[in-house]
Chain A
Amino acid sequence: MTELKRPEQDARRRGRGRRRKRDGEQSMVPEAEFTSYYGRPIVKPAPWEADIPAYMFFGGLAAGSSMLAAGGDLTERPTLRRVGRVASLLSLTVTLVTLIHDLGRPSRFLNMLRTMKLTSPMSVGTWILSAYGPFAGLAAVSELVDMLPEGNRRGVLRLASALGKPAGMVAAVTAPPVAAYTAVLLADTATPSWHEAYRELPFVFVGSAAAAAGGLGLLAVPPEEAGPARRMAVGGAVLEMAAEQQMERSMGITAEPLHQGTAGRLMRASKALTALGAVGALLSGRSRLAGIVSGAALITGSVCTRFGIFHAGQESAKDPRYTVVPQRERLDRGQPIRYED
């Protein structure tokens, strides 16, 4: 038997005076009183599962890897080039699988390509991927062809090998939007903790992408070629952590879900791993083992960032507090959002 509730009682019980458990961390924003309809959510959470944060992670990894590969190609670091190209193809494959798997009607995936809509970050993202993917794929194929014995590279294979360099350059130039657009994908929603993060989230995500790709370079490339990967990893980690701090300050009450429950654990893990990985990367020097450990920490940190932000948004949508309170406060200040000519 469900307990019969009255909406206002429910809202007061949730709203007044009580501090929530937030895994040891205290919010700087005091609990606000608010009313809701039986505590039910107003906006709906996205019907997305682990596919989408995984997609965002692998998209970032692919983008960063393509840039490392192109740089490795231009500066004659063959292992860095090879690792970058192969990693970008593998990551790209995972992004496609997760993207399609997440659809309600996967067989209609190609409907994404029946129009080009600038107001839809998902449409724009699909076209960004369509521009980037073939070149990243071709660069990786040429890498694989070059691993074949000399005598077996004939015809189309020979062509693929020759196109590796230009394809890799195009992939590197089209890669940054792949890493950045996923932030707009989340922010362009009514999900409170995603939308309110729109100013800094792109920087968090490109930082996270650079940290992950740099981390992979540290992990898989011997130290004599891994210098650029190390610098990219450290730069990315610093950017991610700084942007994330700024983001939390600018989000007001909607930053709370980043500190609670699963999202809170993931975000704390992300910060610890990213910081550890960055310090390790700086200090690892010529130690292969230190490079591997730091690289793995950075990659895992990036995974935690994507899943943490994803979960925080979903939780913010499920609690009417994050929809009602900021809007009610605007109204009570006499500053509702209105069009002014």
Chain B
Amino acid sequence: MNIVGISACTSGIAHTYIAKEKLIKAGIEFGHKVRIETQGTIGIEDELTKEEIEAADLVIIAADIKVSGKERFKGKRIVEIPTNIAIKAPKQLYKKIEAELNSKP
């Protein structure tokens, strides 16, 4: 799958970037292409492009705060989780997402 997402934590110093790394690493293991935009204390980095969002099959928002630019994902399937889930159990997250997608007709 093509997956895009956003990560953002309360202080925007550490967890935002760990979550990003974990989502990308585990995503690759499951054969996904993952692009994560970070919204941290120094602002937005790796901003998602319009084309990337258009091509995405799924959006993952790993955030503990309100993220900006959510309207970009209108009409997309969105999974929203706290950063802890992305950090603690990224593989289980992908397994769960796949199971849910497969159970839908």
Whether A and B are associated in the same complex: the answer reads no
Residues of A within 8 A of B (CB): none
Chain B residues in the interface with A (C-beta under 8 A): none
